[in-house]
Amino acid sequence: MTGTTHSDALISRRVRRLETLLEDRGIVTGAAVDEAIDAFLTGASAAGGARVVARAWTDPEFRARLLADGTTAVTELGLSAGGVQPQRLRVVENTADTHNVVVCTLCSCYPVRLLGPSPSWYKSEAYRSRVVREPRAVLAEFGLVLPEEVAVTVWDSTSETRYMVLPRRPAGTDGLDEPSLAALVTRNALIGTAAL
């Protein structure tokens, strides 16, 4: 699931062409585009999502609010899942008998502000098409083999709704504080292609 696909290259060329047209017509400068992208990505990393998970693991009331309305709950930590336009964040919880995995089958919708820039495999056509048809096989390629009795649910992000997985808290972490718990959380666990 790694590497750049033909589709990714095509999208990159289209984006570059659009930037060039905007620059050539004097609508925007290359520097302004770079500034906007940098401003958007400032603070955007999986550390935000990890903080949310650590709080949910240690605060049952926050966890309940997060699962009921992720969009509002993350603002309590000064975070946002939104991008350029308003987006709804839905947090789905892994349990002993359910494992969740996130995809965007149409493009690459993803909660950048909470998870940082999306990995190239997330945007690949192979991941986007296969994870909905054969999620267990795709998860196994990531090294995650789930028992047959664990149901796998695939959530398809859209331009309006982004998903984030609330992973199961690892055993033996009862004595850890929030920063130590957050350090255990990986971007792939927040997408659902890994467990902790």
Percent of the chain scoring above 90 in pLDDT? 61
| Residue with more model confidence, 47 or 19 | 47
What b-and-e string marks burial along 77-109, b requiring 16 or more CB atoms within 10 Å of the CB? eebbbbbeeebebbbbebeeeebbbbbbbeebb
Q: Where are the domains of the chain?
A: 1-42, 45-191
Mean pLDDT of 162-175: 96
- Position 82 scores a pLDDT of 64
Q: Which of 122, 163, 143 is nearest to 2 (CA)?
A: 122
- Position 4 scores a pLDDT of 41
Asked if 167 and 196 count as a contact pair (C-beta separation under 8 A), the reply is yes
- Position 35 scores a pLDDT of 59
Q: What is the pLDDT of residues 53-109, one digit of tens each?
A: 999 999 999 999 999 999 999 999 998 876 556 689 999 999 999 999 999 998 878
CATH entry 3.90.1150.200 includes domain 45-191: no
pLDDT surpasses 80 at 188: yes
- Position 59 scores a pLDDT of 98
Q: How far, CA to CA in Å, does 121 sit from each of 4, 43, 47, 52, 138?
A: 8, 22, 20, 24, 11
- Position 66 scores a pLDDT of 98
- Position 25 scores a pLDDT of 83
pLDDT surpasses 90 at 19: no
- Position 15 scores a pLDDT of 64
Give the sign of the dihedral formed by CA 153, CA 143, CA 147, CA 53. Answer: negative
- Position 110 scores a pLDDT of 84
- Put simply, whether the predicted model's pTM sits higher than 0.75 gets the answer yes
Q: What is the pLDDT of residues 115-145, one digit of tens each?
A: 988 888 998 999 999 999 999 999 999 999 9
Beta-ladder partners of 181: none
Mean pLDDT of 147-155: 97
Average pLDDT, the chain: 86
Mean pLDDT of 146-159: 95
Residues involved in catalysis: 104, 107-109
Joined together, the tokens standing for residue 13 give 């060329």
